[in-house]
Amino acid sequence: MKRLRIRITGVVQGVGFRPFVYGFARARGLAGFVRNSSAGVELEVEGEGIDSFLEAFRSGAPPLSDIVTLETEEIPLEGDREFAILASRDDGESTCIPPDVGTCGDCLGEMKDPADRRFGYPFINCTNCGPRYSITRKVPYDRPNTTMAAFEMCPDCRREYDDPTDRRFHAQPNACDVCGPRTEFVHDDTRLFGKAAVEAAVALLRSGGTVAVKGIGGYHLAVDAENADAVSRLRERKRRSNKAFALMAPDVDCVRRFAVVSDEEEALLLSMQKPVVLLRRRENQSLPEAVAPGVPDLGFMLPYSPLHALLFPGRSSPRLLVMTSGNLSEEPVVKENGAAREKLSQLADAFLHHDREIFMRVDDSVVRRFGNQTIFIRRSRGYVPSVIPLGEDGPQVLACGADLKNTFCLTSGEAAVVSQHIGDMENHETLEFFEETLENLKAVYRITPAAMAHDLHPRYFSTRWALEQNGVEKHGIQHHYAHVGSVMAEAGLKDAVIGVALDGSGYGGDGTVWGGEFLVARRNGFERRAHFRAVPMPGGEAAARNPWQMALSYLADLHGEAAMAAAENSGMTERVGRTAVENVLKIRKNRSLSPLTSGAGRLFESVSSLLGVRDVNTFEGEAAMALEAEAAQGEGGTYPYDIHGSDPAEISFSGAVAALLKDAGSGVSCGRAAARFHNTVSAAVVEMVRRLHNETGIADVVLTGGVFQNRYLLARVIPGLSALGLRPHINARVPANDAGISLGQAFLLRSLL
């Protein structure tokens, strides 16, 4: 007979943990209590056989829970008879908010059951599913602290909420048709509510209309994905580049009609996080080109809120929807009804609103499979704000991230919390989103940063914001060093690594733009040991949008004054115009207009243009992605490259560019030339790393930066390094692109303090 006090931290609130403890203790005849605390969950149990209780406890915990620490302490008996669930106690420590979780099978079943009292109710949820992070204003995660506070539970819902044996026991967003949120459909002068609202939205989608649908973390713009006119109209209205639209399908069978789905990909689609999964499109599917122009992959997700599921009522509905974020081009996704009316009325024909407020906006996450692992393109809804364990204690810091695909990172103790996707920091709205999310996560995790990390780029919004903050120590951390740090943090690499950071651009600090970097990186500093040879970037940032400008720079690099003739031979003059070519070649000679760049992204884009694949990036990375898509499998050829000098050594691909132009001119297919180019870069990376390994003895190699989202490249570099007995590491918890920078900054900053 004894009594234990047990304190548990981790994801233990809002995931059915207390009912689990309650049922578990009662079944074993134990007395005591359980309650939420700000630190997690606290319980006291009294009775016999408590040790076996503890053992079974960990293995039987609810599926959404994640126990980080469990501390026990024996205390005097109190003679309790019953086991009870007590009200929450706020004891001043931090805890976690669970991420938003896709609707569970039980809830979906009830929603489709005409006999159930929640038949057709779009806000059904239980302790195993539903909104969490997006509706929580502060911890502890209890109903009054969520946007559900506005809805008073009806007696039926209250009974479920209070019944420890019920699946909705203390399910904070518990609601029904009688007492909970409801939908509203607005189309011109028509206003409909509840079931009629959803039916009207479906009918409008079926007839080709665009509906702005309020979901979990913000609005989507929805159209019938198989209606070519509707999709093209949406693309025109959004004026959105060629970026692929995300698709929502009612089930995996439907996804399979359009894309190839492996078992692992199916598991990802069905996972509780319900991310957008990038899948290879089937050859003979008939989707309109405007859904995803010129790319081999399609991004699919399954309905993750009950309202989404109701958009697919069966035969009368579109079987596949485009679900793209509801925002004006570069602004954050819209989350409020009023803002939706104001900003989306030019884009949507009608609105499907609801009256449950979204407190935290959070975009859809995007993932893909590579080999036997899942890689993140965007880590947001479903994953944030889950903690990334750092495996060691350390100070509380804030890392502000980079300006493209911004995220920030807060740390406390062993935990790193990386924010959801904030977006490109180029307007006031995005900066506001950054600030409000930061305030929220600081409050939730009770973090007061002792120091702050930022990028070195003086013109980054994030840098300028950091430098304006008072009363906190600030450290600039080089962009590519931070990329490398992100993998060190994830993989727990504490000693020196060879870091290969390939991306579009990052501030180098030496007057050139970096992006093809080989660093020997330690936690307290790095040396730039090699880089891709720098070439002028004619027109600066404009060259990043126009790969043909960068391609001309490579031609000039190769042919000098004969570049004009080379541009003519390659067909570029015809495509972009003689005057444009002449201007760029002129600008290229002016160093103040044409900074030098070693950016790997720029090299890939140039080759894309030289091979006639893409001359323009309508979104970041487009030309390089299209080039990867062209690369023919099974092609083993390579082009010449050259490594010269040391510390830093320079890797020149001039020979490769010359050989590839020759290939293109002599009828070698674009696919083979693209593959040979990829093979060449892979070989150069492996060779450079081999040399650095020989010089330093370091065997841990980090591959990161946006260019390493290229699977063709990864699939060659990783085996190449492994064959040398080295240990390659890639990003597994955060994206390899600039969204991962904040984690790396935070990790490195903690080593500096």
Distance, in Å, from the CA atom of 698 to the CA atom of 522, rounded to the nearest integer, reads 11
CA dihedral over 276, 279, 281, 282, signed as positive or negative: negative
Nearer to Zn ion, 219 or 434 (CB): 434
Shortest Å distance, C-beta 167 to Zn ion: 7
- Whichever of 157 and 276 has its CB closer to Zn ion, that residue is 157
* Residue 738 CB-density burial (10 A; 0-12 exposed, 13-18 middle, 19+ buried): buried
CB of 175 to Zn ion, least distance (A): 6
Region of 168-176, 456-464, 548-556, 641-649 interacting with Zn ion (CB under 5 A): 168-176
What's the closest the beta carbon of residue 140 comes to Zn ion, in angstroms? 21
Stretch (H or E) spanning 310: helix 306-310
- Under the binding rule (CB under 5 A), the answer on residue 707 touching Zn ion is no
Report whether 581 contacts 562 (CB < 8 A): no
Per-residue mark of binding to Zn ion, 388-427 (x: CB under 5 A): ----------------------------------------
Q: Report how far apart, in Å, the C-alpha atoms of 228 and of each of 190, 207, 588, 595, 718 are.
A: 26, 12, 42, 43, 40
Query: How far, in Å, are 91, 251, 286, 311, 341 from residue 207 at the CA level?
Result: 55, 22, 19, 14, 22
Provide the minimum distance between the beta carbon of 454 and Zn ion in the complex, in angstroms, as a whole number. Answer: 14
**Whole-number minimum distance, CB 338 to Zn ion, in Å?**
26
Among 410, 429, 426, which residue's Cα sits nearest to residue 418?
A: 410
Residues in 86-105 that interact with Zn ion by CB under 5 A: 104
- Residue identified by tokens 């949406």 is 234
- What is the C-alpha to C-alpha distance for residues 321 and 221, in angstroms, rounded to an integer? 10
Asked if 108 interacts with Zn ion (CB under 5 A), we say no
Q: Select 176 or 200, whichever has its Cβ closest to Zn ion.
A: 176
Per-residue x/- track, 491-510, Zn ion (CB under 5 A): ------------x--x----
- In order of 427, 454, 469, the CA distances from 465 in angstroms are 13, 9, 7
CB of 445 to Zn ion, least distance (A): 26
Q: Which two tokens stand for residue 476?
A: 């600039």
176 scored as a contact of Zn ion (CB under 5 A): yes
Contacting range for Zn ion; rule: CB under 5 A; set: 14-22, 77-85, 207-215, 730-738: 730-738
172 belongs to the binding site for Zn ion (CB under 5 A)? no
Give the binding range for Zn ion (CB under 5 A) out of 179-187, 234-242, 324-332, 433-441: 179-187
User: Smallest gap, in angstroms, from Cβ of residue 212 to Zn ion?
Assistant: 26
Instruction: Measure the CA–CA gap between 591 and 43, rounded to whole angstroms.
Output: 67
- 88 or 128: CB nearest Zn ion: 128
Instruction: Give 488 or 563: the residue with its C-beta nearer to Zn ion.
Output: 488
User: Taking CB under 5 A as the rule, does residue 107 contact Zn ion?
Assistant: yes
- Is 269 within 8 Å of 277 (Cβ atoms)? yes
Supply the minimum distance, in Å, between the C-beta of residue 399 and Zn ion: 14
The CB-of-166 to Zn ion minimum distance in angstroms stands at: 12
Q: Is 551 in the site for Zn ion (CB under 5 A)?
A: no
697, two tokens: 């003895």
Stretch that binds Zn ion, among 175-183, 287-295, 315-323, 548-556 (CB under 5 A): 175-183
Nearer to Zn ion by C-beta: 154 or 558?
Answer: 154
Question: Pick from 388, 738, 742, 743: which binds Zn ion (CB under 5 A)?
Answer: 738
| Dihedral angle over CA of 238, 239, 241, 244, nearest 10 | 20
Which DSSP helix (H) or strand (E) runs through 711? helix 711-723
Site size toward Zn ion, by CB under 5 A: 13
Residue whose CB is less far from Zn ion, 1 or 115: 115
Q: Is 43 in the site for Zn ion (CB under 5 A)?
A: no
Degrees to nearest 5, angle at CA 434 with 428 and 440: 135
What is the closest distance, in whole angstroms, from the C-beta atom of residue 405 to Zn ion in the complex?
9
Task: Kindly state whether residue 179 participates in binding Zn ion, applying the rule CB under 5 A.
Answer: yes
Residue 150 binds Zn ion, judged by CB under 5 A = no
Among 8, 43, 61, 157, binds Zn ion (CB under 5 A): 157
Show the tokens assigned to 554.
Answer: 């490579």
Report the residue number, 99 or 506, with the smaller CB distance to Zn ion: 506
Are the beta carbons of 442 and 738 closer than 8 angstroms? no
Using the rule CB under 5 A, give the single segment among 61-69, 153-161, 373-381, 725-733 that binds Zn ion: 153-161
Instruction: For residues 556 and 562, give the distance between their C-alpha atoms in angstroms, rounded to a whole number.
Output: 7
Distant-in-sequence, close-in-space partners of 248: CB < 8 Å, separation ≥ 6: 222, 300, 301, 302, 303, 308, 311, 320, 321, 322, 323
Q: Does 126 engage in binding with Zn ion (CB under 5 A)?
A: yes
Applying CB under 5 A, does 128 fall inside the site for Zn ion? Answer: yes
Residue 730 bridge partners (DSSP): 703
| CB closer to Zn ion, 265 vs 622 | 622
Position 154 contacts Zn ion (CB under 5 A)? yes
Among left, alpha and beta (phi > 0; psi -120 to 50; other), residue 355 is: alpha
Of 486-494, 579-587, 596-604, 737-745, the window that binds Zn ion (rule: CB under 5 A) is: 737-745
User: Closest separation between CB of residue 160 and Zn ion, Å?
Assistant: 8
**If you count them, how many residues does the chain have?**
753
Distance CA 350, CA 275 (A): 26
Which of these segments, 112-120, 147-155, 684-692, 709-717, binds Zn ion (CB under 5 A)?
Answer: 147-155
Residue 203 binds Zn ion, judged by CB under 5 A: no
- Angle, helices 670-696 vs 654-665, to 10°: value is 160
- Provide, rounded to whole angstroms, the least separation between the CB of residue 199 and Zn ion: 22
Alpha-carbon distances, residue 695 vs 111, 683, 691, 726 (angstroms):
64, 18, 6, 14
| Cβ at position 106, least distance to Zn ion in Å | 5
Of 46 and 142, the one with the shorter C-beta distance to Zn ion is: 142
The answer to whether residue 178 forms part of the interface with Zn ion (CB under 5 A) is yes
129 binds Zn ion (CB under 5 A): yes
The CB-of-740 to Zn ion minimum distance in angstroms stands at 9
Report the half-sphere exposure of 489 (CA within 13 A, side-chain side): 36
How far from each other are the two terminal CA atoms of the chain, in whole angstroms? 48
Nearer to Zn ion, 46 or 160 (CB): 160
Closer residue to Zn ion (CB): 349 or 503: 503
Q: Is 702 in the site for Zn ion (CB under 5 A)?
A: no
Phi first, then psi, for residue 584 (nearest 5°) are: -65, -40
Residue ranges binding Zn ion (CB under 5 A): 104, 107, 126, 128-129, 154, 157, 176, 178-179, 503, 506, 738
